[in-house]
Structure 1
Amino acid sequence: MSILRVPLAARYRQIAESSTRQGASQTLEQAQALCKASNEETSAHKEAVDAAFREVFYELIASLNIEKDEYAPIWSLLDSVNLLCDHELCEPALGFWLVEDLLDSHTISGCHKVFNYLELRRERMTKEHLKQKNLTILRCCNDLLRRLSRAEDTVFCGRVFIYLFQSFPLGDKSSVNLRGEFHTENLTTFDENPLRPGDGDGEMDVDPQEGTSEPDVKDPSQAVKAGQETVKLDELYPVFWSLQSLFSQPTKLFETASMQQFKDGIGQTMACFTQVINNSTTAAAVQEAEKRGVKRKRGDLDGENTELNSSAFNPRYLTNRDLFDLEIHDIEFRRHMLVQALILLDFLLALTSQSKAKLVNTINTILKELVDTGKLKENQAKSNTMMMKAIYEKLTLSDEDRAWVIETRRTIEKYLEEGNGQEGRYYLRMVNMVLSRDKNWAIWKAANCPEIKRDPVDASVDLQSQDALHEISIQANRPILKPDGADQLAFLSESESVEALKQKRPNIPSLEQYHRAMQVDDLDLEFATEEEVKDIQARKAGRLWRALRSARGKRFTLCEEIRNGDNPDALIGKTNSEEVKGEEVEDGQNERKLTREEEPASGQVDVESAPSAMQAQEA
């Protein structure tokens, strides 16, 4: 039956039709006037508004094309509906219901424009009655995320997540897995049957890289070689992909058979990954892949390489047996799998007896504080403690398995550190930072998700802090009446003779002293670590430079004999003393040579022989 046969709904339909041509405030005034003039109950008005606006909304969707920018009437109608929701003239979630239907009726390109409207109206649509709208918002955004590809629509997925984060408060429990359930439906399918003889006869021949020798392996089951050890990829293939079932169901590891399977799988995987790094035939390819992961050209962001770059964001990998060899030699693939292993190992370490006792004490402290401040009721704290014990008491990691987990985690961390320069260390630091934050999030969930909110500062405290800051600024800017040392000017009247100044003058080290110091530096270099070598070499170079400066007036020819520091022994032994003396006589015919036995006249100082201030400081 059409709503036109219902008088109240028919009148609201007229208002809905006019809302596409006028402002939302006028539509609100008309709806309020009709509600006051009618004797119907409030629920009847809400049902009439819902039916009238839905019918007009669906008619507009069927007649307008969003690709031609003809959706202005629909945006106006949605604005009017949101205003009616805020004033409780219809169901609070009616606006998001209509948006949900709008997203379902369009392609991804049309959803972009619909989501632009949601982002512009987010504050207005989530300001009132959020508790009645939160489930609709979650369902609307989650349905949209299921339609999007994480690889091709990465930016759009990020916009949807940001919209959710901005709409819900920071401590909302909507995305919290309070029961600790695992996503067991995430199954990884692969070929569990062993490779039959003759299956590898049709493999594609790959030319060996330049400068490398072609492998002699003719066995259909591919292998990764390093030295004398060999890991057959055909044997590793089912073991490797079977680990995914353990990653999705970590509690199975507390069964003896599953734990042994996990240990064997991780051991074989790490052996294979290590051999891939050490394999001489693929070292160049691995290095090139690492460099490509660190730095890419600007041209790689568009054109034919766009698909390759976006594939790095794909959360799932292909499990075809023929692709396993290529995947193993991809550094991003290896890191992805090892990070999964680190997550699982941290989960196991959190279930040791020591970690569980520490976690229980931390959570009890948080719950006690919440109960004392009145933010949590005592019965809720007790029920949360009982639920936590039910989850964690049954699962306890043994000491033997704990030692293996710690050793395996260190091995994986050491492997992840290997990379192009410092890139591996940066990657490991990023992973550890994310895992540490995840531990804090787990504690927050176990403590019944306390509200992440800080109480506002009282006005009196704010005024007191302002007064204290003003007093501190006055004290800091107040002039000092008698600065320290202001009256200690007696040194100005003291005078010293030139002879006294000569005695205080620092002595420049001789060339022999510089040479002995450089020999000590050479000895230190033999026992220095990699971090100390650079400092010792710089210290030695500085001493050689100062030695050449001190000898520039008498033994300038040493600069040629030392040969950029390769022959520091020339400072004391390589130069003939007689030749040096002859050169000094020829160069000093027109000037008087000052010797140690001669002293300048009283009250005079030979400027040439006196060391400069820079030389004294360098010595």
Structure 2
Amino acid sequence: MEWNFETLRIEYKDVLQKSFKAKNLDILEQKVKSLNKTEIDLKSPLDQTFRDILLKLLEEQVDVEELKQFVEFSIHSCRKGLSSPTMPVILLGDIFETLTLDTCEDMFNFVEQNVHVWKEDLFFTGCKNNLLRLCNDLLRRLSRTTATVFCGKILLFLAKFFPFSERSGLNIVREFNLENVTEYGTDPSDDAITEIQTGSEKHVIDFTFYCKFWQLQDFFRNPNQCYTKVQWKLFCSHSSTILNTFQGIKLDYVTSDNNTTVGYFAKYLTSQKLLDLQLHDVNFRRSVLLQFLIVFQYLISTVKFKSESYELKSDQKDWIQNQTEKVYNLLKETPPDGEKFAKIVKNILAREELWNSWKNDGCPEIKKVQSTSIESEKKTSETKKPLLGDIIKEANSQGRYYMGSGELTKLWNLCPNNLEACKGKERDFLPSLEDYFSEAIEQLEKPVKDEEILLKDGNFGWRALRLLARRSPHFFTYSTTIMNPLSSYLEMMVRKIAHERPGKSQENSQEGQNDAEIDNFLTEEEQGTEELKQNDQEEFVDDSNPRQDHKITVQQLLYFSQKISPDWEKLAVKLGYKPDEIEFFKNENPTEFEQARNLLQIWFEDDEDATLDNLLYILEGLEMHEAAEAVRNELNSTMDT
């Protein structure tokens, strides 16, 4: 008889049914051994036969216990080497796809109880992706509000099954659940004003307070909004209002003798009529205060995948520090056991800092370190140093790079995929001179300790030179003066930037002294250049360099605007304009052509780097080829004339 997939499948069907019915795997094993002389694959037909028998059981609507026994039978078959190691989980996937959710929960208990089986070497490698897909499919079918317990079981199972450092179970890039939108009433006609008197203070709970309270949930689901100027002010205003109200409303906690359990809800109701009652609820207040602490911690923490522009200023950090202390005081005042609860929360958030650092380091595998005596550790460290090859090998095994320098090693391990990280839009920005050198200017005005001087930091100096080459007109000024060390040159440039800051008052009593200090750093040629620049800042053009086009004609402005109009927003982002400024261009100008014209006109008027050369460089980088060609032709025609 010629054996093929179909003939083996038919041959296996009767044998598998008999073997499962008798709960005797030897019957199936003997049949497989009798076919071992054939050269074709025996596992694939048997795997398909398992699924065929399962489908028949499902059609007969057998009880869950028999389905569990059938999956157990397939596990024993895998251990005997008769079928593929992925077969039990494939059968579970077929079962969950056909059962109702209530029956699925009973069946999932079987999956939980056999977590030790799935973690065996035989099953783990082949089954882990199938099990993850099975659990995710179940979570998509379940409601997070009505099936909270079942969803929790699935997540706990995944936590037990996967190793602690398994990246598929970690939110590596710190993404927020932006779909978690809190809806609340926006009709002011439903305004129900409530006044709460606490001592000499009176707190009004009206529609305005109601809107401020629930608007904070939008900041809690997406804290990155707080890094923009307008949203930060809004967040501070709403937070201060809510926390001051909490501070004014003292809570009383009444204990009950009966053993009733306290209910916790995944999401609170947002009706305005309930807000007065919610403000007097202990669990509600603790929930809101804990949200404040989590957001405050994120805003001031160093997060690996956070954009470099997402950094708070010193006054903003001070505000967060003050508000954090206020929140902890409110938690201590909230009964019952306020002091104990506040202490537990502080410990939990402190541990979160450790997990944050662990993620920043690339989630290295956590291993138990065997305890050794202090003498043996000292002896080992003194007699044997790790070889460079061993260090690189260890780094490669952890998916990391070792570059020999601490800063380079840190830079190369910021992102798992360095090429993709270089393409990130958040990396494509150019800070202003005032923003970047603000701290250095403050240090010049208020001297600090020598070891804290920012200008002597090599990393700061390297970035400063790159920024000066792009932003400062003084960087390429001809000079025979040799600045050694680098900190002296940077100090000279910082003093120039501080002297030329926009809005600097001419009545400043230190201006004469600053001019004298600048003159000490400049050679005679540089002083002559400075005087010429001050006398004729707007019209200074070197006739020997026809490519120095700081001006743009009306005809060029209209011509370039027509070319860039389809993609003017992409150019605006590259030029450093923020979303609210781009929205301003849209609101003020009805057409894309006029929006592009307004953008170019303001850029050439306000930005000292606004030249046709720089515009051509930027357009080529953005792959706006048609517009770049138009600018290039204008530059060439200028050269010819």
TM range, smaller chain: 0.5 to 0.7
Kindly report which structure 2 residues correspond to 1:150-169, keeping only aligned pairs within 5 A, or say none. Answer: 156-169=150-163
1:297 is the counterpart of 2:258: yes
Q: 1:192 to 1:89 in 2, by over 3 A?
A: farther
CA contact (8 A) 2:68 2:107 kept: no
The equivalent position to 2:350 in structure 1, one of 436, 442, 450, is 436
Q: CA offset at residue 155 of structure 1?
A: 5.4
* Root mean square deviation, CA, Å: 3.1
Q: CA offset at residue 108 of structure 1?
A: 4.5
Kindly report which structure 2 residues correspond to 1:539-554, keeping only aligned pairs within 5 A, or say none. Answer: none
How many Å separate the matches in 2 of 1:457 and 1:413? 38
TM-score, with length taken from structure 1: 0.54
Bigger radius of gyration, 1 or 2? Answer: 1
CA contact (8 A) 1:291 1:420 kept: no
Q: Which residue of 2 aligns with 1:51?
A: 48
Q: Which residue of 2 aligns with 1:110?
A: 103
After superposition, what is the alpha-carbon deviation per residue over 1:191-220, rounded to whole angstroms, capped at 9, x for unaligned?
234x22xx46xxxxxxxxxxxxxxxxxxx4
The equivalent position to 2:231 in structure 1, one of 258, 261, 283, is 258
1:63 is the counterpart of 2:60: yes
How many Å separate the matches in 1 of 2:360 and 2:24? 45
Q: Moved runs in structure 1, 4+ residues, more than 6 A? A: 149-152
The equivalent position to 2:264 in structure 1, one of 304, 313, 317, is 313
After superposition, what is the alpha-carbon deviation per residue over 1:18-37, rounded to whole angstroms, capped at 9, x for unaligned?
34223464266246425513
State the AA in 2 paired with 1:402: K
After superposition, what is the alpha-carbon deviation per residue over 1:540-579, rounded to whole angstroms, capped at 9, x for unaligned?
xxxxxxxxxxxxxxxxxxxxxxxxxxxxxxxxxxxxxxxx
Q: Which residue of 1 aligns with 2:215?
A: 242
Q: Which residue of 2 aligns with 1:325?
A: 276
CA contact (8 A) 1:19 1:76 kept: no
Q: Which residue of 2 aligns with 1:415?
A: 330
1:170 is the counterpart of 2:164: yes
Q: CA offset at residue 257 of structure 1?
A: 0.9
Q: Which residue of 2 aligns with 1:181?
A: 175
Q: 1:408 to 1:35 in 2, by over 3 A?
A: farther
After superposition, what is the alpha-carbon deviation per residue over 1:321-363, rounded to whole angstroms, capped at 9, x for unaligned?
2222222221211110110110000111214xxxx8xxxxxxx
How many Å separate the matches in 1 of 2:221 and 2:148? 24
How many Å separate the matches in 2 of 1:31 and 1:152? 49
The equivalent position to 1:403 in structure 2, one of 318, 338, 344, is 318
The equivalent position to 2:116 in structure 1, one of 97, 119, 123, is 123
Q: Which residue of 2 aligns with 1:82?
A: 75
Aligned residues: 370
Q: Which residue of 2 aligns with 1:192?
A: 186
Q: Which residue of 1 aligns with 2:244?
A: 271
Q: What secondary structure does 2:269 align onto? A: coil
Q: 1:265 to 1:7 in 2, by over 3 A?
A: same
Q: Which residue of 2 aligns with 1:450?
A: 364
How many Å separate the matches in 2 of 1:455 and 1:118? 32
% same residue: 25
Kindly report which structure 2 residues correspond to 1:602-617, keeping only aligned pairs within 5 A, or say none. Answer: none
CA contact (8 A) 1:188 1:241 kept: yes
Q: What secondary structure does 1:270 align onto? A: helix
Q: Which residue of 2 aligns with 1:96?
A: 89
Q: 1:150 to 1:236 in 2, by over 3 A?
A: same
How many Å separate the matches in 1 of 2:315 and 2:365? 39
How many Å separate the matches in 2 of 1:225 and 1:338? 22
Gaps of 5+ in 2: 377-641
The equivalent position to 2:133 in structure 1, one of 135, 139, 145, is 139
CA contact (8 A) 1:247 1:344 kept: yes
CA contact (8 A) 1:224 1:272 kept: no
Q: CA offset at residue 231 of structure 1?
A: 2.6
Q: CA offset at residue 158 of structure 1?
A: 4.8
1:36 is the counterpart of 2:36: yes
Kindly report which structure 2 residues correspond to 1:499-578, keeping only aligned pairs within 5 A, or say none. Answer: none
After superposition, what is the alpha-carbon deviation per residue over 1:446-490, rounded to whole angstroms, capped at 9, x for unaligned?
1111111226689xx99xxxxxxxxxxxxxxxxxxxxxxxxxxxx
Gaps of 5+ in 1: 201-219, 278-285, 302-308, 357-387, 463-619
CA contact (8 A) 2:117 2:123 kept: no
Q: 1:419 to 1:182 in 2, by over 3 A?
A: closer
CA contact (8 A) 1:171 1:451 kept: yes
Q: What secondary structure does 1:174 align onto? A: helix
Q: What secondary structure does 1:224 align onto? A: strand
After superposition, what is the alpha-carbon deviation per residue over 1:107-161, rounded to whole angstroms, capped at 9, x for unaligned?
4542343133223332223312313222222233344445556677665555444
Q: Which residue of 2 aligns with 1:12?
A: 12
Q: What secondary structure does 2:197 align onto? A: strand
How many Å separate the matches in 2 of 1:257 and 1:416? 29
